[in-house]
A and B are shown apart, each in its own frame.
Chain A
Amino acid sequence: MSAIWIATIGTSVIAFLLKYSGHSIPERFLSNPKIQRINALIPIALLSALVGVQTLTEKSSLIIDHRLAGVGVAVIALILKAPFPVVVLSAAITSAAIYNWF
Chain B
Amino acid sequence: MSSPDNGFLRQNRRVSKVASTTLRDSLSVSLTVGAYGVAFGAAAVANGFSVLQSCLLSLLTFSGASQFAVVGVMGAGGNPISAIATASLLGFRNGLYGVIMAPRLKVRGIKRIIAAQITIDESTGVALNQESRGEDAMRHGFYLTGFGVFIFWNLFTLAGALGAQAMGDIRAWGLDAAVPAAFLGLVWPRLITKRDRAIAISAVALALALTPILPAGLPIIATAFIAIAVGLRR
A residues whose Cβ falls under 8 Å from a Cβ of B: 3-12, 14-16, 18-25, 27, 29-31, 34, 36-57, 59-62, 66-67, 69-71, 74-75, 78, 83-85, 87-97, 99-100
Contacts and interface: CB of A to CB of B under 8 A. Distances in A.
B10 interface: no
Interface stretch (B22-30, B63-71, B127-135): B63-71
A43 B91 CA distance: 9
B91 A18 contact: yes
Interface stretch (B1-9, B13-21, B147-155, B184-192): B184-192
Contacts of B224: 42, 45-46
A15 B184 contact: no
Q: Which of under 10, 10 to 19, 20 to 34, or 35 or more describes the interface residues of B?
A: 35 or more
Contacts of B179: 54
Contacts of B32: 84
A29 to B, nearest CB: 8
Given A7-B74, A43-B190, A51 B204 contact: yes
A57 B73 CA distance: 12
A77 B101 CA distance: 35
B61 to A, nearest CB: 4
A96 B174 contact: yes
A22 B90 contact: no
Contacts of B36: 84
A61 B212 CA distance: 6
Interface in B156-201: 171-188, 190-191, 196, 199-201
Contacts of B212: 60-62
Contact of A38 (B69, B201, B211, B232): B232
Given A7-B74, A8-B70, A92 B61 contact: no
A73 B205 CA distance: 20
Given A22-B96, A27-B99, A41 B199 contact: yes
B223 A45 contact: yes
Interface in B30-67: 32, 35-36, 39, 48-50, 53, 56-57, 60-63, 65-67
Nearest to B112: A23
A92 B208 contact: no
Given A20-B112, A49-B206, A84-B36, A15 B94 contact: yes
A66 to B, nearest CB: 7
Nearest to A93: B174
A27 B196 CA distance: 27
Given A3-B74, A67-B177, 10 more contacts: A6-B84, A12-B61, A20-B112, A20-B116, A44-B200, A50-B68, A60-B216, A78-B185, A88-B39, A92-B174
A37 B61 contact: no
